[in-house]
A and B are shown apart, each in its own frame.
Chain A
């Protein structure tokens, strides 16, 4: 069971705390908040921008939420996102010049597979050699990013790109359709929402989800009860990596159209915050991603209007993570006290 109270409270507390840096930067917090709200909800365009920002965050948030449920610490969504994006351009820029209804699924499948491989490898190192996946996935993020730069100056470089380190554009029929005219919000959002719903359903209702939760909560008892722990971990690793790969696919084939090495402003890391704010619940991830995306888009708009650094958004996001952690502690403390009342028979 998931309580919404704490995350919502944490979100507001972190926004309120942002008044301190705003004051230090010499801005009027009330005006700044007003500007942020206007920047996110002031027009259809603003809302479209916010949803566009939320799309990759839903994917990376789901990637973190599912893995963390199994206590598999996938901190590598950032790298897996780039793997997915690379696969998308590798397939999408002309290798297969086929109709859209074939090319789009092809891009999606290859992108997800690349991301999945990016998480399967550290999981193998953990299962086989006991190498801590936190460290390996973190380091892989850097390796993959450098690899992307290499590819963009090599095989994936756009021959027509005047030497810029960027890929050729994805074929028009390979692009995910836009949802509205003249708006950037694209059907990657629909895929993300479906993924969240499916994840929610599978986690609660499938044998796979049952086993995943069991492994995450108590791996010793799960193994004793006949659950194949390693298989469970590999399966969640592949799905988690695949979702992160889809974030890359959706950014490349939904939004930008081509790959550069600055495709992601840290969506992978922010996904961890999204997942924690969501209490690791897939549906919660959608809500949390929309909140975080609002903070980013709102802060951008506020920054342009008032001259306060847009790093304020990162500040709010990181504070909301710390707040939700502390809030979780308070809730746990309440449960422990309630337990004491209950178990004395």
Chain B
């Protein structure tokens, strides 16, 4: 059976992890924002900003990690903007998020066109290369799947652990969980609701931007218009599927990556019989299905979407 062969192949799982990487960053970022009680629909635009800024910085000679840093800072900037609009000003999180997406996308596109007015094919950079683990890379199966990935994939996996640790094992993470459930509980203990929420949204947004940066600095080596292609929205669906837990977020992103990798391989095998678009559609449909399955039992952070103001009990 062909599918079985695919599922057992090392290259398939290596590709799944590669495809999952930007989603891991994105879901973790969305998780941080929503755990604090703020929906961040700016994610799609923040992906674009991360992709553009990271790439542009490298192209201008900043070095790969310099590019990563620039992407994270750009994401943080737009996250901060969203946070200011939705937390102290208490504006609609839906509309503000969509506004951030439109704004961040158009800023990126405009800057790209202004920086490179006359290019027909996008200029390339030297992207992240797979890390060279001397012995481990030769291991059967895991050697290919895990130990021939780029540093950004490892950073994503590290972030899963880091976000889990912060959320569950530090006072800061517990305060973020509390502020997303009942802001009064935080206020009554003398902590600042605004500071916690703004901080979480800003940090989460910089993670989202890293997801974008992966696209231009690891998956590809250039920036194209429309390259994010709904990955941000997929993350918003996946975070519900993951019930706001980092471990499940990794699982969700990997499942999505595996599915996407599978559709590419099936497409090449069955290309003649079925139109290729059926496979292209499948991951988005899968996201909706995952959302429908998870929605009823989803344990939404209770204060999600609800602005909080001092002295209103």
Q: Do chains A and B touch in the complex (CB under 8 A)?
A: yes
- Interface residues of A, Cβ cutoff 8 Å to B: 21, 24-25, 73, 75, 125, 129-132, 134-136, 138-143, 146-147, 149-150, 153-154, 269, 272-273, 276, 307-309, 311-312, 314-315, 317-319, 321-322, 325-326, 328-329
The answer to the question of B102 belonging to the interface, with a C-beta cut-off of 8 Å to chain A, is yes
CB contact between A135 and one of B99, B109, B114, B291 (< 8 Å): that residue: B291
B110–A315 touching, CB < 8 Å: yes
For chain B, give the interface size range.
Answer: 35 or more
A24 to B280, CA, bound (A): 39
Q: Which of B6-14, B198-206, B233-241 contacts A (4 or more CB under 8 A)?
A: B233-241
Q: Are B281 and A143 in contact (CB under 8 A)?
A: yes
CB-based A-B contact count at 8 angstroms: 129
A140 / chain B contacts, CB cutoff of 8 Å: 284, 288
Complex contacts, B107 vs chain A, CB 8 Å: 315
The answer to whether residues A134 and B95 also contact, given A139-B287, A143-B285, A315-B106 and a CB cut-off of 8 A, is no
**Most interface-central of B81, B95, B105, B281 (chain A CB within 10 A):** B95
**Least distance between B152 CB and chain A CB atoms (Å):** 24
A150 touches B99 (CB 8 A): no
Q: Quick check: is B185 within 8 A (CB to CB) of the other chain?
A: no
Is B114 touching A139 in the complex (CB atoms < 8 A)? no
* Contact B280–A135 (Cβ < 8 Å): no
Does B269 have its Cβ within 8 Å of any Cβ on chain A? no
Query: Contacts A135-B233, A135-B291, A140-B288; is A321 near B110 (CB within 8 Å)?
Result: no
Are the C-beta atoms of B41 and A325 separated by less than 8 Å? no
Known: A143-B281, A329-B89. A317 touches B106 (CB 8 A): yes
User: Does A322 contact B85, Cβ atoms closer than 8 Å?
Assistant: yes
The answer to whether B96 has its CB under 8 Å from any CB of chain A is: yes
Residues from chain B with a CB closer than 8 A to the CB of A269 are 98, 102
A143 vs B234: C-alpha distance when bound (angstroms) = 12
The answer to whether B94 has its CB under 8 Å from any CB of chain A is: yes
Known A132-B291, A326-B89: A276·B95 in contact at CB below 8 Å: yes
Interface: B136 (CB within 8 A): no
Q: Do B102 and A318 have beta carbons less than 8 Å apart?
A: yes
A125-B292, A325-B99 known; A139-B106 Cβ under 8 A: no
A155 to B: closest C-beta gap in Å? 10
Could you write out 12 A-B pairs with CB less than 8 Å apart?
A25-B110, A129-B296, A130-B298, A135-B240, A139-B234, A140-B288, A146-B280, A153-B277, A309-B113, A314-B109, A318-B105, A325-B95
Q: Whole-angstrom distance from the CB of B239 to the nearest CB of chain A?
A: 10
Residue B134 interfacial (CB < 8 Å): no
Cβ contacts under 8 Å, B90 to chain A: 329
A sample of 19 more A-B contacts (CB under 8 A), given A309-B109, A314-B109, A315-B110, is: A25-B114, A129-B296, A130-B296, A131-B288, A138-B233, A139-B230, A139-B287, A140-B284, A142-B230, A150-B275, A269-B102, A276-B95, A308-B114, A311-B113, A314-B102, A315-B103, A322-B99, A325-B96, A329-B90
